[in-house]
Structure 1
Amino acid sequence: MPGPIQLMAAADGRRIDFSPLRDRPRSAAIDLVSMADLLRNAFVYPPHSIYSDVKIAISGFEPGQDLHAQPRFHFPYQSSAAPARPDMAHADCPLLVERYHRLLCEAVTRASADMRTPWLLQSGGKDSTSMAMALAEARPDATCVTYLGGREENEVDSARFVARQLGLRHETLVCEPGRAYDRYLAMVPQMPLLTADFAMLSYADLVTEIAGSGGDGVLDALGSDPYFGLPLRWPQLLRVVLARRLCLPEGVLHSSLVSRNFPLSYALGSLQMDRFERSFPGSRFTDREVDELLCLPVAGASRQRLETFRADIAAAPTLEAQRRVAATIVEAATFGKGMYTADAAGLRLGYPYCDTVLREWIFHEVPDRLLIGPGGVNKVLVRQHIARQFRQLPYVRAKGSFRFDVCGLAGRFDQVHDFALQARALMPGAPAWLERHRHQLGNKYFASKFYLLAVMLPWLLSRIGSAETPAHAR
């Protein structure tokens, strides 16, 4: 049997070599606590993975340490610990914006160096708009693609306008849950690891489309939040206030008043969550539900994994600072969905905002008020960069692209239920949960939990079949 495996990201976060996983036997042990992580938070707490003997770290874990022993995490971009940045009173804003543009162009060039036909995942928001401006100079042969996944989105018009003004080709892919799920199922055998990010099926849909259209590489505008900062707005503050780790009676969420009311279901679900974990996106299973799904008291062991990050959370002086730590922890999902699907599709993947030169310059050399401005305006430098070429854009009013129609996925209920029956040795309580909630999947709160099962079950079955049992984490 192969020994323990440890995977570390390259310094710029753009590359992980998954080849050590390719010769693993299909019967390799699944980590029970990691399954609980996925059900509770939609990702596996780093540096753990879905396998009990495979550790993977993206940010905050220094190379060289044994991740199988006592992994040490340190968040490198806590603003309070940064050296004094330049004073805004003496800053030359046009020069800083120009320097940012040049560094972003260089980051795009490095990230796409081994791509013949790169595609940019262009949400139409600030980060992807700024990156598209650099792309037009550094890789004008690239194609931009925007994913329309829900009725609440309005950034497609912004993305299309930006791409056309910059002379870049632009494509739009509209979410069809059935097609996306089929594409995900087709790539499951090739996916090296498992995460359940709520854009996972969007990415499976996109990378399949890109590969089929002749693309060989993907550029993603993720990665700048930890060093730019994440100002706290009222929706995030409300979620923090609600999170109380209460244990509500099971019948509350199943009452006729609640079961079809998403805001009320979400609020009651939040009451049962840990305050810090509530900063992770989406509706997920409660601890009690996790223990019922797995028929073992394992949710507490999943929550215990948060202790690896507790010192950095405690050292964060504000809720905004804590959100930076959370954004780094959740990279296991935000980057994982791209890494795993791109690897399965045979595509290269680059994150220009993770470029070492760019992020170190922004964190150390850009004045505070160009990171977060008065009133909590985020990414002021990026906004000024965009303003050089564009004025008011639709993304200013509302946000959202690359989401997934979780309620629409309920059309695959019978297929997912069949997966649950096959996976009873892994997740004994899944069939009963599905049967109990079948008629509540029009509510996004319950549909999001269905989504987690729909993503997890086929991947798990592809690795160990229906007869294996998961292993406890060490």
Structure 2
Amino acid sequence: MTTSTAVLQDVAPRIMFSTSPYRGQVDFAPLSAAAGERPLDPVSIADLLRNAFVYPPHSIYRDVKVATLGFDPRRDLHKAPEYCFDYRSSPAPARPAETAVDEGTLLKTYHRLLCEAVTRSTAGMQAPWMLQSGGKDSSSLAIAVAEARPDTCCLTYLGGREEDEVESARWVAHELGLRHEALVCKPARAYDRYLAMVPHMPLLSADFALLSYADLTTEVALSGGDGVVDGLGSDIYFGTPVDAKRRMLFRMARGLPIPDGLLATGPLSRSFVACFALATLGMDAFERYFPGSRFSDAEVDRLLGRPVAAQSRQRLRVFQEELAGARTIEARKRVTLAIVEAGAGFSKGQYTTSALGLRQAYPFCDGQLAEWVYREVPDTHLIDREGHNKPLVRKHIARRFGELPYVRAKGCFRFDLCGLAGERFEQVHAFALEARDLLPGAARWLETHRGHMRNKFFASKFYLLAVTLPWLLSRAHAEAQTEPTE
């Protein structure tokens, strides 16, 4: 469908709204008017393919900007966005000394504030379901949920062979008197559920847990739930130590040119570790903070059929001043996590629950809780002297359960990437053929890499196309207006 720019401006005026859960519930109603007429932004498509999310304050639509954490919703984000991170670790506020506060009082205050955060964030939910990964945050949150919302059902996802925390998560839930259910990842089922919600998803992210969330939130809706409780959001104010493996990856990211086609050749193509390491050498150091294997700039330009990747990279400039003020690698990672959470972490829950008409709660984003931890908790209760994160949270769990194995291992919502590629390759290839005007190089990339889908490195890139293509196709009639602008 061809529509003049003037008509588009009349039908779909520029929009700006807040999507930060730290500011309360997110309302996507501003997008409802003329949603099908909004022009897609090819630079944002490049963002998705390069990093699995759109750099805030941009969105997948050219005329829609979002005020995530760090962006002032009162400013015009279309003209001159400025980024100021709210929870810096350097320079940080003067927190009390460890000897100046009583640990028992700290734990009681933390528990009380977390319970109050659960109560506020779930207000209006009649049948809440909590996504229980089995890690520290969800276990601590479950303790508060059992007190503040004992009608909550816990739901744990088994996403792959790398992890199996269902047993420990179920034990925690049962000890707290909470109902518990588990859902095993089936890639085809999850993808079908995603495709069903695509027409109703307000915006687009390609987070590597998006299909897991499509699976989980659909399960909640089918089971009679009306709201989803997620333990995301506390890393940026508790702090995030950087381990030796992560430090090595940051040092490896040199922005070096990687020969075209090298990774898909011979023995290299069968080794995830080798592909990941070589791809890291070709990445920007800042963007290596972001998880997963993504398309290189050269690949993105071929997928889009024009040079767009450089414009995506230029979007980093709005964050440069804040990053320059981050004096340590931990401080830099904290800023990066805030950007990733804003563009990908929260959006996977916000977009899927919105599509299904469910409410979304992030208790750890409660303003009173976050400000208290950031300003009133001693540094040694945020990251201890041995470099362990969240000792306050660990002690909160230990006070109820003692130290359990799951506390030492991070849980998540992994997805069977290779399984998806094996089961839905032809369907995604058909989407790519249909979307030639949007991503003219997608079908060719799939055909060239068809035999490499058992390697998670290539299956990750397949996943990005599998998520992005059907959503773009559902809005394809606005493509006539997608000329790259910044």
- Identity percentage of aligned residues: 60
**What is the CA-CA distance between 1:57 and the residue it aligns to?**
2.0
For 2:170 and 2:119, the matched residues in 1 are separated by 22
Cα distance in 1 for residues equivalent to 2:181 and 2:247: 36
What TM-score does the superposition give when structure 2 sets the normalisation length? Answer: 0.96
Equivalent of residue 277 in structure 1, options 253, 278, 287: 287
Alignment-derived partner of residue 445 in structure 1: 457
The residue number in structure 1 matching 2:126 is: 116
Task: Determine if contact 2:159/2:184 at 8 Å carries over to the other structure.
Answer: yes
Provide closer, same or farther for how the CA distance between residues 10 and 310 of structure 1 changes in structure 2, counting only shifts above 3 A. closer
The letter for the 2-side match of 1:450 is F
Q: Structure 2 residue aligned with 1:323, among 326, 329, 333? A: 333
Query: What is the distance in 2 between the residues matched to 1:93 and 1:210?
Result: 38
What is the rounded CA distance, in whole Å, between the counterparts of 1:164 and 1:398 in structure 2? Answer: 20
Choose from 11, 17, 23 the match for 1:7.
Answer: 17
Distance in 1 (CA, whole Å) between partners of 2:367 and 2:379 is 19
| Residue 478 of structure 2 corresponds to residue 458 of structure 1 | no
Amino acid in structure 2 at the alignment position of 1:26: G
Alignment partner, residue 360 of structure 1:
371
Q: 2:268 aligns with which of 258, 270, 278?
A: 258
Q: Which residue of 2 aligns with 1:125?
A: 135
Instruction: Write the distance in 2 (CA, Å) between the matches of 1:358 and 1:400.
Output: 22
Structure 1 residues 466 and 311, CA gap change in structure 2 (3 angstroms)? closer
Contact 2:39 2:479 in 1 (8 A): no
| Other-structure match for 1:414 | 426
Alignment partner, residue 432 of structure 1: 444
Residue ranges of structure 2 left out of the alignment (5+ in a row): 1-10
Partner of 2:150: 140
- Aligned mates of 1:403, 1:14 — CA distance in 2: 27
Matched with 2:344 is 333
- Counterpart in the other structure of 1:246: 256
User: Does residue 71 of the first structure (1) align with residue 81 of the second (2)?
Assistant: yes
Identify the residue that residue 204 of structure 2 maps to in structure 1. Answer: 194
Structure 1: segments with no counterpart, 5+ residues: none
Distance change (3 Å), C-alpha of 1:366 and 1:25:
closer
In structure 2, the CA distance between the partners of 1:25 and 1:365, relative to structure 1 (3 Å rule), is: closer
Over the aligned positions, Cα root-mean-square deviation in angstroms equals 1.3
Alignment size in residue pairs: 474
Corresponding residue number in structure 2 for 1:105: 115
- The aligned counterpart of 2:312 is 302
Contact 1:222/1:351 (8 A) holds in 2: yes
2:55 matched to which residue of 1?
Answer: 45
Contact 2:90 2:328 in 1 (8 A): no
Tell me which amino acid in the other structure corresponds to 1:61. Answer: F
- Post-superposition offset of 1:17: 1.2
Question: TM-score scaled to structure 1, two decimals?
Answer: 0.98
Once residues 224 and 315 of structure 1 are traced to their aligned partners in structure 2, the CA distance between those partners, rounded to angstroms, is: 21
Offset of 1:467 from its aligned partner?
A: 6.8
Q: Is the 8 A contact 1:426 1:470 kept in 2?
A: no
Alpha-carbon distance between aligned partners in 2 of 1:283 and 1:351, rounded to the nearest angstrom: 27
CA distance in 2, matches of 1:234, 1:54: 39
Could you tell me whether the CA contact under 8 Å between 2:213 and 2:352 is conserved in 1? yes
How much does 1:374 deviate?
Answer: 1.1
User: Which one-letter code corresponds to 2:438 in the other structure?
Assistant: L
Q: Do the aligned residues in 1 keep the contact of 2:239 with 2:330 (CA within 8 Å)?
A: yes
The aligned residue for residue 345 of structure 1 is: 356
- Output one character per residue of 1:229-285: Cα deviation in whole Å (capped at 9) or x when no partner: 010002211210111111111232022221010111111111111101100110000
